[in-house]
Amino acid sequence: MNFTYPKNEKLKSKITIGLLFSEGKSVSKYPLRLVYYSGALGNPEKSDEIIKMGVSVSKKHFKKAVDRNYFKRVLRETYRLNKHLLIDNLDQPHAFMFFYQSKDRLSYEEINTKTIQLFEKFIAQNNKKPLPESDTTLENK
């Protein structure tokens, strides 16, 4: 398992970020929010990239850059350690923006737990596959 956050996974394209906010969907688990967009991302020649991730912490909640940078580091670290949950369940490229949306200063452990719950909620929301017909016919009898 690869626990890295390489440069090619970082969300930097203004076009992709614009698509994310104009056409993206959202899932939340207080105090975290994940905005995502599924579809073709950026350069079609680099089709091996399945995920692009960006992080953000509101200046409204944390006035000092030191505090914002701390929470951005924590978000990147929790993503890096738990991204296998997302990658294992994605079949097409996705762009994500990961937000910390609270004035509450949670510990690393609490943020990591919330990140796992958020990723599981995202997976549950996007894997709405119907049951195979053989299983549904048994339930109806």
CA dist list (Å): 120 to 56, 117, 126: 20, 5, 10
pLDDT digits (tens, 9 = 90+) for 81-137: 999 999 888 888 999 999 999 999 999 999 999 999 999 999 999 876 544 554 444
**Which amino acid, one-letter code, is at 126?**
N
Place 74 in a pLDDT band, splitting at 50, 70 and 90.
very high
pLDDT digits (tens, 9 = 90+) for 22-33: 999 999 999 999
The per-residue pLDDT for 38 is: 87
Place 42 in a pLDDT band, splitting at 50, 70 and 90.
low
Give the distance from CA 29 to its chain's centroid. Answer: 12
C-alpha span between 99 and 52 (Å, rounded): 14
Whether 86 contacts 119, CB under 8 Å: yes
Domains of the chain: 8-125 (3.30.230.10)
3-state secondary structure of 37: strand
C-alpha span between 141 and 32 (Å, rounded): 43
